[in-house]
Amino acid sequence: MGKTTGFLDYERVERPCAAPEERLQSFSDPHGPLPAPLRREQGARCMNCGVPFCQSAYGCPLHNLIPEWNDEIWAGNLRHALSRLLKSNNFPEFTGRVCPAPCENACVCGLHGAPVTVRDNELSIIERAWERGLMAPQPPEVRSGKRVAVVGSGPAGLAAAEQLNRRGHSVTVFERDDRPGGLLTYGIPNMKLEKTIVARRIERMRAEGIDFVCSTEIGRDLNAAELRRDFNALLLCCGARQPRVPAGIDCGREGVLQALDYLTAATRAVLAGGESALSAAGRRVLVVGNGDTATDCVATALRQGAASVVQLVRKPKPAAGARIWPYRPVGEKTDYGQEEAAARFGQDPRLYSSTVEELLWDGNGALRAAKVRTDGVLQELPAELLLLAAGFSGAEPAVADAFGLSLDPQGRLGGSDHRTEDPQVFACGDLRRGPSLVAAAIADGRACARAADTFLEGYSYL
């Protein structure tokens, strides 16, 4: 522990962020770096607890060595901090931006004050490492002669690919979209995770010998039998993208969109420098859901110039209460999207205890309004665009069907050992666990790589 009294001497300071109205002007990341002396102080606030809950199952799915690299931040030793960080996390530049930081909710320092800025500290280490040339490609010196196919290039697939490549296996990643990254590229808006960050990592992986084949869907563009023939092991990392549709909502009609389709179109437009084909500009928008994806829809609609945004939340408004440590605090969470909506329209966009009873259409078949029941009272809300962000019910069946494998009733594939009915085929990430955090997907990808490596070599030191 670098500074014994650091948690008493220094206050929590987060990296600076533009004001809500200012950040609504673009899809760029609104955050800036914290000056180096202040970042050292934030590392010094770590208490080096006897039992560091931040890196336990309560805090971090990756079991990051948080007290160790916080100490190295305070000591000013970037190389050692980076070494400790990369020991458990393949992509801290992703988790440092999009993870909801359960590690901070589990931080002992937060019991009687503010928790350590764990996520910001993590991000500062990896970004400084990129800036200073410490992230040069490191291809394996020896190849095993074994070939591995990874289907899906989200966080689980990328983590598994990187681990297996380090072991010397020749890895090919297949992605159905036109760019690698999965939900990192098209499911998370640019202002939360700029796509240059994803592209930077992909280029490093390519330089280390990993092949990426995009715009290729297994079962349509490539036969599963060919993969079984050409590769020694196959890892399915296709995510859990089967949307959950509330009763009474018809997704096939004009003005009703799945959140992922909407966010994908918005990101494509940002990358192309044009207008989205599914824009909310000038339209009154209803967002159904209360998770991170719903918040992303609110924030994206605001940036596109929506006339109004209302977020419908099925659950009652949570009452403020005592913190249930080391779990999340009890009470209402106001994220960046709600903060921006309040700045634009003068109030929080959420309506709690609300469900859609009926959608109303104009004479041309376009959405014009929705009948919404809120706390038992039925009201009609005008809307030209309804975005469904009610979560996911499991994996899409196409890839499992292509390999002749069976999803369980929850839409998942693979057992606790990542194996499927076919000993050559493994599964990981949201496909195996159900929808979860990016950090959890990376952790599962690493574990799946170890299982596949053991299958290929008879043992593994991954």
User: At 367, is the secondary structure helix, strand, or coil?
Assistant: strand
**Statement to judge: residues 124 and 155 lie in one domain:** no
Q: Which residues pair with 309 in a beta bridge?
A: 285
CATH code assigned at 124: 1.10.1060.10
Where are the strands (E) in 74-158, listed by range? 147-151
User: Does residue 383 sit within a domain?
Assistant: yes
Q: Is the same domain home to 249 and 379?
A: yes
Q: Where are the alpha helices (DSSP H) in 221-321?
A: 224-230, 259-272, 292-303
Per-residue pLDDT of the chain (462 residues; tens, 9 = 90+): 668 999 999 999 999 999 999 999 999 999 999 999 999 999 999 998 989 999 998 899 999 999 999 999 999 999 999 999 999 999 999 999 999 999 999 999 998 899 999 999 999 999 999 999 999 999 999 999 999 999 999 999 999 999 999 999 999 999 999 999 999 999 999 999 999 999 999 999 999 999 999 999 999 999 999 999 999 999 999 999 999 988 878 887 999 999 999 999 999 999 999 999 999 999 999 999 999 999 999 999 999 999 999 999 999 998 776 667 776 666 778 999 999 999 999 999 999 999 999 999 999 999 999 999 999 999 999 999 999 999 998 999 999 999 999 999 999 999 999 999 999 999 999 999 999 999 999 999 999 999 999 999 999 999
Asked whether residue 138 is domain-assigned, the answer is no
In a domain? residue 97: yes
Residue 252 has a pLDDT of 79
Residues 384 and 398 in one domain: no
CB atoms under 10 Å from CB of 449, counted, come to: 32
Same domain, 326 and 381: yes
* Residues paired with residue 426 on neighbouring β-strands, in sequence order: 235, 419
Q: Could you write out the DSSP letters of every residue in 79-91?
A: HHHHHHHHTT-S-
Does residue 282 share a domain with residue 366?
A: yes
The domain that holds 330 is classified in CATH as 3.50.50.60
Q: Is residue 462 domain-resident? A: no
Domain that holds residue 162: 147-241+393-457
d(CA 434, CA 418): 13
pLDDT at 386: 97
Of 339, 364, 390, the one marking the end of a domain is: 390
pLDDT score at 321 = 67
For residue 396, what are the CA distances in angstroms to 266, 428, 434? 22, 14, 12
Which of 131, 166, 184 is the endpoint of a domain? 131
User: What is the rounded CA–CA span in Å between residue 456 and residue 448?
Assistant: 12
Asked whether residue 142 is assigned to any structural domain, the reply reads no
In a domain? residue 407: yes
CA dihedral 334, 385, 272, 191 (to 10 degrees): 0
The answer to whether 184 touches 193, Cβ cutoff 8 Å, is yes
Do 386 and 399 belong together in one domain?
Answer: no
Instruction: Identify the domain boundary among 390, 418, 447.
Output: 390
- Output DSSP code: residue 31: B
Residues 236 and 252 in one domain: no
pLDDT of 210: 98
Q: What is the DSSP letter of 44?
A: H
Residue 1 falls inside a structural domain: no
Of 194, 169, 197, residue with least CA distance to 91: 197
Cβ atoms of 181 and 204 closer than 8 Å:
no
Residues 178 and 289 in one domain: no
**Any domain includes 137:** no
Q: Are residues 122 and 99 both part of a single domain?
A: yes
Number of domains in the chain: 3
Q: Are 278 and 268 in contact (CB under 8 A)?
A: no
Query: Tokens 């709600």 map to which residue?
Result: 338
104 and 165 in a common domain: no
Asked if 347 and 253 sit in the same domain, the reply is yes
The total of other beta-carbon atoms located within 10 Å of residue 78's CB is 18
Identity of the amino acid at 195: K
State the pairing for strand pair 354-361/308-312.
Answer: unpaired
Angstrom distance (rounded) from CA 208 to CA 204: 6
The interaxial angle of helices 155-166 and 195-207, nearest 10 deg, is 20
Q: Are residues 102 and 160 in the same domain?
A: no
231 phi/psi in degrees, rounded to 5: -125, 150
Interior angle at CA 81, CA 292 and CA 88, nearest 5? 55
